[in-house]
Amino acid sequence: MEPLNDSELKALISLLDDTDNEVVTHIRERLVTLGTHVIPVLEDAWSKSFDAVLQERIENIIHKIQFDTLKAELKKWCDENSDDLLAGVILIARFQYPDLDETKVREQLNKIKREVYVELDKNLAPLQKVYLLNRVLFDSYGFNGNTSNFHAPQNSFINMVLETKKGNPLMLCVMYSIIAGQLDIPLYGVNLPEHFILAYQEKSNSEAYEYTYPEASVLFYVNAFSRGAIFSKKDIEQFLNKLNIKPNKIFFEPCSNVDIIKRSLRNLAFSYQKLNEAEKLYEIEELLDYISG
């Protein structure tokens, strides 16, 4: 299908005020297929209109284009680029903030990373490296778990966590592990039931440590939601016992970045369900189904 120039687009958009719903539906579908490059023209038409019905129709079309684009990009990330966890959580944030400034997010994280880097010594023991990360993240920057509004959707968006300094267990762990990874500190997410934690996983076969979980070469675990508290495999076993959940290997080993993104979407689904935001809940479930299929 041939692309339309601006004049043709404006003419097409002007037909959205038609009283015939069939005509409006056809125009809407045509505009959606044209993709993101028509959004500026749609926004311009919205700003120049005094018709509330037309403005609402334009808003719905823009949202549909942005959502379809996000769905495709998230699927592509899962299939081709899942090594970049930050790129994945930025896509999640774009669900709520489609115009999110990715550069700003990366600069905020780089600023924190640099503060850790200036004090980081390659000869530091693993625990000392974690203590350094904790001091910078939780003492210097004041990051903390959002205990007063635990299920709020903003706790799942990396840009809002960086802005408010509060988040849920998963997103605090994601931020922690991204910064650690940029500094070659091996901390990875663990998909623990009803919580999300980090594992310090040594890649080498060093005999200097007694691993808490030998198969995964894990030295210890970190709870970013509790200001970087450090604990062992035994602590996880006790936690699972309280939940009456049988221990499973996956509760002790690092999970994939795709698993992290899926869990983030499930967290958002639960948040929107609690807020009775049915439309957003439906869209999050659609994203989850699409990348799981």
Mean pLDDT, range 221-238, rounded to an integer: 96
pLDDT band at 206 (very low <50, low <70, confident <90, very high): very low
The CATH number of whichever domain residue 76 belongs to comes to 1.25.10
pLDDT tens for 71-81 read 999 999 999 99
Task: Please tell me the predicted confidence (pLDDT) of residue 203.
Answer: 65
Residues 121 and 98 grouped into a single domain:
yes
Residue 135 within a domain: yes
Residues 111 and 245 grouped into a single domain:
yes
Assess whether pLDDT exceeds 60 at residue 239.
yes
Q: Give me the sign of the Cα torsion angle 265, 271, 274, 276.
A: negative
Alpha carbon 172 to its chain centroid, in Å, reads 11
Residues 159 and 192 grouped into a single domain:
yes
Can you say whether residue 35 is alpha, beta or left, with left for phi > 0 and alpha for psi between -120 and 50 degrees? left
Residues 101 and 67 grouped into a single domain:
no
pLDDT tens for 35-44 read 999 999 999 9
pLDDT tens for 116-157 read 999 999 899 999 999 999 999 999 999 999 999 999 999 999
Task: Please tell me the predicted confidence (pLDDT) of residue 212.
Answer: 53
- Residue with more model confidence, 39 or 8: 39
In the 3-class helix/strand/coil scheme, how is 209-269 assigned residue by residue? Answer: CCCCEHHHCEEEEEEHHHCCEEECHHHHHHHHHHCCCCCCHHHCCCCCHHHHHHHHHHHHH
Domain boundary among 36, 54, 80: 80
Assess whether pLDDT exceeds 60 at residue 1.
no
Task: Please tell me the predicted confidence (pLDDT) of residue 2.
Answer: 62
Q: What is the mean pLDDT of the chain?
A: 92
Strand 166-167 with 218-223, pairing: unpaired
